[in-house]
Structure 1
């Protein structure tokens, strides 16, 4: 397995490609708003994109979906509580940047505990509300990897002052659902640098 990170858009959203090096199949985690870098990487490396996983439905994580879908039609997964945001420019915050807001109507809902088997990997959905109602993380237990979106950052957590956000729910999500994972788990967040669960237990002042 190889994980490649691409920082895209005006607020530095982390877009990830999870690559099966044997089959060249890949999974995209959060395309961001301007996915040209990651689209080019898929083409240049001859990768076969099999799915897109969304950690939540804010514009800076979803607005590049239409561009990605121009090249290949694959399932796009989002936690079920964020599904309404996919077609609501006010709640996904895109209406500030796009007239009428950004809409994507083909997302497939997933729920807490659901296992997705894609490209030879297993991703477990962990519902972590707080940043958004349907914020979620994707846990690859065998590989010891967590994609945390805007729930958990290096020594920080996501904002909770957007529509549908809740500071208490966010902290509860992190404490009850993420800090119980093995300390050596590598955390790949939606912004900024990677970390581990063990490091956050020791150094994160918000939890």
Structure 2
């Protein structure tokens, strides 16, 4: 039986999925895309009895990053993000944190990632897959031993991320999904940045982007 547990917290103005991923034995955790409510996440970690060891960001839009700095300071942990996306994290205009009625935020990640990097976190191997399109520095985090991928706003259940925001590209997101994400095993569970979970096999059959193959 798997030792990985995933707790989904839907937070913020646009219902962002923040994932608390933890090892059921050690209770060590990573926080993926902490959205905008550090207080809620802190309480949920306490409730679950888990100890965060890292914050992983799939991309730099405001609705995925607003609580990251508070969590970094509180738990004394590092923020991981694509080396391409660090410029967006540091620019409140690009990450749109000031334009949606919230407080503008800017910071740098502690660990900058590139395609193919492998992370050893909380007892699992995480593979970094660069998936530009929603933003130029979007990444997915694939855990092959658990057959799960955290897809951010690249791939949704029967949909995919918008490309009309800063650094977005429709041609890149098509290429990223078809030539990278769809190459994962069909039974891989997909945890997207918004909406319901799905599988790679289902998306290859039902996602409109599949017609570009």
Regarding TM over 0.5, the answer is: yes
Q: Which one of 113, 128, 149 corresponds to residue 110 of structure 1?
A: 113
Using the size of structure 1 for normalisation, the TM-score is 0.96
| 141-150 or 31-40: bigger deviation | 31-40
Q: Where does residue 62 of structure 2 map in the other structure?
A: 59
Q: Which one of 149, 153, 157 corresponds to residue 150 of structure 1?
A: 153
Tell whether the 8 Å contact from 1:145 to 1:186 is kept in structure 2 after alignment.
yes
Tell whether the 8 Å contact from 1:83 to 1:107 is kept in structure 2 after alignment.
no
Q: Where does residue 194 of structure 1 map in the other structure?
A: 197
Tell me the CA shift for residue 66 of structure 1.
2.4
Tell me the CA shift for residue 98 of structure 1.
4.0
Tell whether the 8 Å contact from 1:8 to 1:35 is kept in structure 2 after alignment.
no
Q: Where does residue 185 of structure 1 map in the other structure?
A: 188
Give the unaligned 5+ runs of structure 2. Answer: none
1:138 paired to 2:138: no
Using the size of structure 2 for normalisation, the TM-score is 0.93
Q: Where does residue 204 of structure 1 map in the other structure?
A: 207
Tell whether the 8 Å contact from 1:184 to 1:197 is kept in structure 2 after alignment.
yes
Q: Where does residue 50 of structure 2 map in the other structure?
A: 47
Tell whether the 8 Å contact from 2:21 to 2:29 is kept in structure 1 after alignment.
yes
Matched pairs, number: 206
Q: Where does residue 170 of structure 1 map in the other structure?
A: 173
What is the distance in 1 between the residues matched to 2:48 and 2:102? 31
Go from structure 1 to structure 2 and tell me whether the alpha carbon gap of 1:166 and 1:156 turns closer, same or farther (over 3 Å shift).
same
| 102-111 or 58-67: bigger deviation | 102-111
RMSD of the TM alignment (CA)?
1.1
Q: Where does residue 34 of structure 1 map in the other structure?
A: 37
Tell me the CA shift for residue 106 of structure 1.
4.2
Question: After superposition, what is the alpha-carbon deviation per residue over 1:113-136, rounded to whole angstroms, capped at 9, x for unaligned?
Answer: 000001101110000000001000
Tell me the CA shift for residue 73 of structure 1.
1.2
Give the unaligned 5+ runs of structure 1. Answer: none
What is the distance in 2 between the residues matched to 1:144 and 1:133? 25
